[in-house]
Amino acid sequence: MAAFSDRRRTLLAADVDAQTMTNSAANNHHQKPRRVARKNSHRHRPARRSSLRRDIGHVAAETYLITRLAFTLLRYLGIGYRWITQLLALGCYAMLLMPGFLQVAYYYFFSSKVRRSIVYGDQPRNRLDLYLPADTSVPKPVLIFVTGGAWIIGYKAWGSLLGLQLAERGIIVACLDYRNFPQGTISDMVNDTSQGISFVINNIANYGGDPNRIYLMGQSAGAHISSCAILEQATKESQKADSVSWSISQIKAYFGLSGGYNLLEMVDHFHNRGLYRSIFLSIMEGEKSLKKFSPTIKMKDPCFKFSIHLFPPVYLFHGTADYSIPSIASKRFADALKEKGARAQLILYEGKTHTDLFLQDPLRGGKDDLFDHVVAVVHANDSDALAKDATAPPRRRFVPEILLKLASKISPF
């Protein structure tokens, strides 16, 4: 730029006085940044359009996936009176909570703090979503979440409300997707979950997570699947298998929410609630496999006495008014863990249903004992985080109280 100005002054010296040259130089100085700014503004517009197209395309792809899997499942289950009434109840339940779902969906699809569909394996549903706090300048604790869905309608986006609220408290949340029935059976679900846990443990540092502060949580069917994954990993470690890619000792605590841990006791119960025996046994790979995939029963295996010292503290949460999976399931699993010497704690919530703890209460906002309990455990050794938790504002309400009460009454769960 300096050389260009010198040549210009030489050519114009005979015709233009010094003042004119100064004005000309000043004009050139002010015009060029404007031209650059215009050029830069044009350069960024295609990037924004491309990002918007990508987000819209992702929404369309996710919607298509859910719809396709729903029709596949309906073809397998068949259409009967009980399924029709359950689907109608589910539709009304979802409509009542729609004000909250729409807000969470907007956050899920359009927030820059959500990393969607990160690939963790080579199977069709081996994807996970990451929910990142606003500040990741220092490594953050990580909660791996395995969603429920009766082993047939589980989906990683079901954990977006939990991800949103925990990220606000400085906790990274990794929501795992896994193959559902009829895409896969229970062993596929457990393998997918174990592979997802391994991926998070070994890669979360790349996303601002602390690999030394990993926590695991499962809800409903996800609690069953994730507990099976922990016990399967314990078996591998006790047998010193070569294929071990993570250790249960790397999990700082396990949270089981409204889970069923003894399948032998659940077959008739699920049958009466519409998950028919033939379908349930197909999911669980036959009657002979029920004990294998029942953590309460499997804890009696002698191999666990060699690996029980590796077990993380276990916290089991359950509502006493849960009719989808009665709270006795968590109590018996807690007793089995304690009998083997594991650190287990059962927390019961009086009058809470299967969905209250996971959906209605978080959508209600304000104080939530379960949420506070999980955050307190995750932040137990972080004085700065605990201080921030003590002064954190109340969680905001997503849905009016009247709609939440109506949803509770009509819920098919």
Q: Where are the domains of the chain?
A: 2-45, 86-410
User: Mean pLDDT across the chain, nearest whole number?
Assistant: 84
Where residue 173 falls (left for φ over 0; alpha for ψ -120 to 50; beta otherwise) is: beta
Q: Counting Cβ atoms within 10 Å, is residue 41 exposed (0-12), middle (13-18) or buried (19+)?
A: exposed
For tokens 């300096």, name the residue. Answer: 2
Distance CA(298)–CA(367), nearest Å, equals: 37
**pLDDT surpasses 80 at 87:** no
One of 129, 177, 192, 322 is an active-site residue; which one? 322
Q: Counting Cβ atoms within 10 Å, is residue 16 exposed (0-12), middle (13-18) or buried (19+)?
A: middle
Q: Residues 119-145: what's their mean pLDDT?
A: 95
Give me the CATH code for the 86-410 domain, please. Answer: 3.40.50.1820
**pLDDT surpasses 90 at 53:** no
One of 160, 227, 327, 354 is an active-site residue; which one? 354
Span of 11-20, 66-75, 105-114, 378-387 with lowest mean pLDDT: 11-20
pLDDT in tens, 157-170: 999 999 999 999 99
The H or E element that residue 131 is part of is: strand 127-131
One of 160, 220, 226, 227 is an active-site residue; which one? 220
Distance CA(221)–CA(83), nearest Å, equals: 19
Distance CA(209)–CA(75), nearest Å, equals: 41
Asked if 106 and 159 touch (Cβ cutoff 8 Å), the reply is no
Q: Is 249 a catalytic residue?
A: no
Tell me what pLDDT residue 24 has.
42
Tell me what pLDDT residue 413 has.
79
Tell me what pLDDT residue 69 has.
57
The H or E element that residue 47 is part of is: helix 18-77
Q: Is 17 a catalytic residue?
A: no
Distance CA(226)–CA(270), nearest Å, equals: 20
**pLDDT surpasses 50 at 96:** yes
User: Who wins on pLDDT, 371 or 88?
Assistant: 371
pLDDT in tens, 294-328: 999 999 888 787 788 888 999 999 999 999 999 99
pTM of the model: 0.82
DSSP one-letter code for 250: G
